Amino acid sequence: MSQTLLVLMSLIGAEPVWQAADFSQRAIVEIAQSSEDAAVDVAAVKVLTLGRCRADGFDLRVFDAAGKPVPFQVTFLDAAHSALISFRASDAKAGSQFVVYFGNAGASRAAEQINVPEVPGAGAPQGDWVPHAGLVLTTKQRPEGDNPKTIEEFTKLWSDSVRPHGARYQRRISDGFNPFGSSDDYLSAYRGWLKISAAAAGTYQFCTASNEASFSFLDGKELIHWPGRHTEERGIRGEKNVTIELTAGLHFVEYYHEEVTLRQVAFLGWRTPASGPAFEAIPESVFVAPHTANVVRYESKEGIVPTFEPTIVDSLWPENRSTGQFTRVRFRADHAELFPAASKYRWDFADGQNAEGAEAEHVYLALGRFNATLTVTEPSGRTQTAKWPLDVYEIQHVTDDIGQGHPTEYAKLASTYDPEKLDATHLREFAHVLSDGERSADAIRIARRWLEKFKADHAQETPAVQRLLALNLLRTDAGVDAAIAAFEASLTADSPLSERLDSLTQVIRLLGSELEQPDRALQTFTRVEQLTKGQRLDEEARAAYRRAIIAAADARLWQEKLEEAQVLYRRAELVDGKIIPPQVKAARMGAYPQAIREFLETEQLEAALDVINQWDETFPTEKPKGHTLFWRGKASHLRGQHRDAARWLAKSIRLTTGAAFETEARWLRCASLLEAGQTEIARKELVLLAKFPLADRFTQLAKERLLSLK
């Protein structure tokens, strides 16, 4: 078949001839968007390899539409997942097609593949053709070891790393977290091209700001190294800088960064001949972008091949404890429309649970690596599988890509899980996600099942499950006595004092605030006093004792016995024996609402609740003013925990009549009551809000909602 005919077939959408006879897989690649730089002859594409190519990438090949091999560079390869490839695409236009072949265990490196040593400071790729476009960010797991004091020590860390996290093309050297994995203990590398116009050539200053060590190069020569253990603070204003003459044209930049824990900062900035005195981020326009290419289908010689790449949508931290994480992941079979009609799709999430359909969402209840599998069965009986080793890692940041989850949504998704297929860890977390999502009856059922199956072999975890059981029993009609019995069962002799105090605190809080049985709450507080009498409390026990006193004060607050509540709140503030100066208190008090507001506006609900808890525990004497009750109610409403939200907001309204947020509190309470199914109570409250003396947008919302309820 002639090359002219091959081109014609490609243009009319016909199947390109299988050029690489000994290769089992291929990806049909199409240019989606041309680079804004007319001189660029480079296209970049992400290919899902899913364990179907060699670990070293020697079996990768790129052909153009005419069937000719083209030179290419593998800018990232994790064979179990994906590869990033930059390839020559001269005169490429949107819609132009190329083919990437792989799947040949016996293949040797193609002559067209550019050999690039992965050594920091090696400089630009070399060859007859070089992809002069694209900046690639790559992150990897950081091996154990000291903070590197030299580039040689960093190079050893980089080469010793055995787990890549991921990579992407981007146009900045500036990140505050790891976009592909845990933001603790990782390494990152930025490698690619920037372009200086003739008019912009001149004297430049480059600066680095990094939390932990960073090293950078320009055209293979040292730019700025800031080695060793440090924070970004001594470089945030450009203190770590260098002055160089930057000529017109293309330059290859490398920036390497290592992170251990706490804050993550990686930043390379500059000061140009035309800019002012301040350093600034290098503009995205300076980084040369390649043509953007996408895979339009994956094939074997037998036909379409299934692929998928899971997407972490959001995450959620469990309530009332500092450990654990729930993570929602979206699964979608790529190019499902190309499979025969009536094909069946089955997902195995590798945690005991399954789902059907071309798309699915799944909540992972614990961290770990899960070998997710998609099985596609065509009407003919042909069955194919695709696998993705999915890392569910600790997510420390709410970003544009990974948001904040909602407990009720998570509980709804998880409610269909088969508990008999879950191990001890996942079954325990299953109970927690149901509890946080206000599915108390289901949480009770799962907690009891956990105790039946795992109590004998998991004695250390049993008290926490008993507390969870008790918490949900108190939320149902099961009876207070059953809940108290569960709390009592959590108070083992081997339990740390802080855990026993926290169990009793839960009883006090729920009896006093939720069930409004203050006398029984204070009887329980007497037990707290007995447990701590004559004890030398460590830091954890002292903090737990403080929480118990605050819970006892809350019981009085809920009775609106404000003077008695304040006595206990003042006592809680004095437990540590530390007096906070008035000016410091005033500064913190002013900062709390702004911080909470900012977190809520960016949907960082857990962070907002952390600030609310800090406010309550640091300055409990402020609690009778009702401000934290309002913020807690608003956060609970946004989390979808409407029963709790309505309760917090009702109390804040009673305590803060005339506050600036009163109409908002009333509106949020009405909205939560409606969501909780308490329509008649909500209707009465909406009528009151609609007639509120001070008209604002919340009173208007009340009027509009009343009309919709008629």
Q: Name residue, tokens 């809350």.
A: 554
What is the rounded distance in angstroms from the CA atom of residue 334 to the CA atom of residue 304?
10
**Element (DSSP H or E) covering residue 329:** strand 326-332
Q: Are 62 and 16 in contact (CB under 8 A)?
A: no
* Ranges of residues in the chain whose predicted pLDDT is under 50: 1-13
Helix residue ranges, H only, 491-538: 497-509, 518-532
Closest CA relative to residue 431, chosen from 394, 482, 469: 469
306-405 has the same fold as 135-287: no
The amino acid at 245:
E
Q: Per-residue b/e over 613-645, b at no fewer than 16 CB within 10 Å?
A: eebbebbbbbbbebbbbbbbbbbbbbbbbbbbb
Q: Collapsing DSSP states into helix, strand and coil, what is residue 600?
A: helix
Predicted local confidence at residue 117, as pLDDT? 79
What is the rounded distance in angstroms from the CA atom of residue 311 to the CA atom of residue 362?
10
Tokens coding 36: 């804004």
What is the rounded distance in angstroms from the CA atom of residue 10 to the CA atom of residue 628?
65
Q: Per-residue b/e over 581-600, b at no fewer than 16 CB within 10 Å?
A: eeeeeeeeeeebbebbeebb
Predicted local confidence at residue 441, as pLDDT? 93
| Domain ranges for the chain | 1-115+292-305, 135-287, 306-405, 582-709
What is the rounded distance in angstroms from the CA atom of residue 420 to the CA atom of residue 403?
30
Q: Name residue, tokens 């499902």.
A: 336
List of residues 6+ apart from 562 with CB closer than 8 A: 556, 624
What is the rounded distance in angstroms from the CA atom of residue 168 to the CA atom of residue 180?
9
CA–chain centroid gap for 319, Å, is 17
The model's pTM:
0.81
Q: 306-405 belongs to which homologous superfamily?
A: Immunoglobulins (2.60.40.10)
List of residues 6+ apart from 76 with CB closer than 8 A: 82, 83, 84, 136, 138, 164, 166, 167
- C-alpha separations of 415 from 434, 508, 634 in Å: 7, 30, 25
Q: Are 347 and 359 in contact (CB under 8 A)?
A: no
How far the first Cα of the chain sits from its last, in Å, is: 72
135-287: CATH topology is Jelly Rolls (2.60.120)
Q: Name residue, tokens 């590869």.
A: 83
pLDDT tens readout for residues 225-265: 999 999 888 888 889 999 999 999 999 999 999 999 878 89
582-709: CATH topology is 1.25.40
Can you name the residues that pair with 97 across neighbouring β-strands?
Answer: 30
Q: Are 207 and 224 in contact (CB under 8 A)?
A: yes
Tokens coding 70: 């083209």
Pairing of strands 25-33, 42-48: unpaired
Strand order in the sheet with 326-332: 359-364, 326-332, 311-316, 403-404
Strand order in the sheet with 164-170: 164-170, 135-141, 186-196, 249-259, 214-218, 221-226
Backbone phi and psi for residue 440, each to the nearest 5 degrees, phi listed first: -65, -40
What is the rounded distance in angstroms from the CA atom of residue 523 to the CA atom of residue 573?
22
Can you name the residues that pair with 298 across neighbouring β-strands?
Answer: 27
Annotate 647-663 with DSSP letters as a single string.
HHHHHHHHH-TT-TTHH
pLDDT tens readout for residues 504-553: 888 888 788 777 788 888 988 999 999 898 888 888 899 899 999 999 99
Predicted local confidence at residue 12, as pLDDT? 39
Predicted local confidence at residue 378, as pLDDT? 96
- C-alpha separations of 155 from 141, 565, 704 in Å: 13, 60, 64
List of residues 6+ apart from 434 with CB closer than 8 A: 411, 414, 415, 440, 442, 443, 446
Q: Are 209 and 240 in contact (CB under 8 A)?
A: yes
CA–chain centroid gap for 259, Å, is 18
